[in-house]
Amino acid sequence: MKLRAIVLNCLLIFKAENSILLRKQTGTVPCKRKNINKTKENKMKWKTDDGGWSPYLAGALLGILAIASALATTNLLGKTSYLGASTTFVRAAGVLEQTVAAEHVKSNKYFTKTKIVVNWQFMLVIGIALGALISSVTDKSFKLEGVPPIWEERFGNSVIKRAFAAFAGGIIAMMGARLASGCPSGHGLSGMMQLSVSAYPALILFFCTGMLTANLIYRRTS
Amino acid sequence: MSTDQWLGLVTGILFGFLLQKGRVLRFEKQVGAMLFKDMTILKFMLSAIIVGMAGILILSDMEILKLSHKSMNAGAVVIGGALFGIGWAVMGFCPGTSLGALGEGRWHAVFAIAGMLCGAAVYAEIYPFLESTVLAWKDFGKIGLPELTGLSQWIIAPILWGLFIILFIWFEKKNL
């Protein structure tokens, strides 16, 4: 079946070429152009319309990075570390709090358990911002944006409104992530890869309540 | 900087680069998935999981690296997971992608990051209370699916790969 399709496409291209030649000779408009475009669309797409990479390709490469990173941390640091992000927010909060209330931080039970250090994961989180900057500047997708388009469509272009929601959402999300001891990186990527029991209900819940909330926020009454 | 910090930074840069190339950092992609309009982030995540799972499981079978499960603390995972989902939808970013979004110029991520720092501080404050309540309810320990089900990981993993690929085919069919 595939072979037949290829032969047919070749014939169509051949015909179209011919009609271009014909047009040159007789001035008629070629009519088979559309077919050529269609065969191009049917090919596997490595690039998305917005200039990014196919999510399957970028995702598979991230899978390789996760393996390489687990190997590198095991061999170079003596402890296998998996990709994760949310613990770093606790450490960063601790660093900030230390500057105003050092004694209080010292006596806090959680901060004694999760030591305030700028470690592998802390630098990983900073690296994410740098990597995204490099990628977006080099492919010209870097864009300053104060209010995301979907938000603007629903709630207008007030930065203050958006800031308030992002801030409140951030508080709730981080408390949830710490309680569940992971976010979409730690549970979703690293936990699911390792077949951890906790990762599967966690990710399913992230999505279920996320979908419910998003639909409540953005659903049109009309 | 120590080896530990350098290694983290390099890994993070590559992580951020791939997140940006996959276009999963954006508010509209994250909210799009929750509104069931754009499944880019699921395609990206599940592809990473398929590839990563194969490598991690083979290497742990060869005893080259160790798995590190997070504790299956029932109350904490359920309540924490549900809370995270609500916050995620309102904020439009997750902890890792907020920094990446800032990197690609979406500066409103700053407010999300500030909120998450506050949330982390609040969590540290209420930790003693949580420790004696939610966290003390039912802890199944740091277990994996093979231990839970008694099945080999090489039976569970192919089942999951199959499920993920069926999802991909469905997403492509529905043009999500």
**pLDDT (tens digit per residue) in A83-140:** 999 999 999 999 999 999 888 898 898 988 888 889 999 999 999 999 999 999 999 9
| Helix/strand/coil for B73 | strand
pLDDT of residue A24: 47
Size of interface A-B (CB pairs under 8 A): 515
Segment A14-21 shows an average pLDDT of: 50
User: Which positions in chain B touch A62 (Cβ < 8 Å)?
Assistant: 15, 18-19, 22, 44, 47-48, 51-52
Most A-contacting residue of B3, B20, B42, B165 (CB-CB within 10 A), to test interface: B20
pLDDT of residue B136: 86
Please judge whether B85 and A207 are an interchain contact, meaning their C-beta atoms are less than 8 angstroms apart: yes
Please give the tally of structural domains in chain B.
Answer: 1
B89 vs A154: CA distance, rounded Å: 14
Contact assessment for residue A186 and residue B84, using Cβ atoms and an 8 Å cutoff: no
Measure in Å the smallest separation between the Cα of A127 and chain B Cα atoms.
Answer: 4
The predicted model scores a pTM of 0.86
**Residue in B with minimal Cα distance to A52:** B21
Q: Smallest Cβ distance to B94: which of A183, A197, A205?
A: A183
Segments of chain B scoring below 50 in pLDDT: none
**Residue in B with minimal Cα distance to A107:** B125
Report the percentage of chain A scoring pLDDT > 70. Answer: 79
Please judge whether B86 and A209 are an interchain contact, meaning their C-beta atoms are less than 8 angstroms apart: yes
Q: Which residues between 30 and 59 in chain A have a beta carbon less than 8 angstroms from any beta carbon of chain B?
A: 48, 50, 52-53, 55-59
Please judge whether B52 and A193 are an interchain contact, meaning their C-beta atoms are less than 8 angstroms apart: yes
- Element housing B99 (H / E): helix B95-103
Domain that holds residue B14: 3-173
**pLDDT confidence bin for A5, thresholds 50/70/90:** low
Range of lowest pLDDT (A32-36, A58-62, A106-110): A32-36
A83 vs A193: CA distance, rounded Å: 11
pLDDT of residue A222: 44
User: Which positions in chain A touch B77 (Cβ < 8 Å)?
Assistant: 180-181, 198, 201-202, 205
User: Which positions in chain A touch B46 (Cβ < 8 Å)?
Assistant: 59
The token duo for A96 is 């900030």
Opening angle at CA A64, ends A60 and A69, nearest 5: 140
The token duo for B167 is 């999802």
pLDDT of residue A32: 47
The token duo for A60 is 């598979």
User: Which positions in chain A touch B155 (Cβ < 8 Å)?
Assistant: none
A87 vs B6: CA distance, rounded Å: 18
Please judge whether A210 and B105 are an interchain contact, meaning their C-beta atoms are less than 8 angstroms apart: no
User: How many CB atoms lie under 10 A from the CB of residue A49?
Assistant: 7
- pLDDT tens readout for residues A165-216: 999 999 999 999 999 999 999 999 999 999 999 999 999 999 999 999 999 9
Higher confidence at residue A46 or residue A191? A191
pLDDT of residue A38: 47
Closest CA to A117 of A142, A135, A98, A92: A92
A100 vs A91: CA distance, rounded Å: 15
> Residue B139: beta bridge partners?
B73
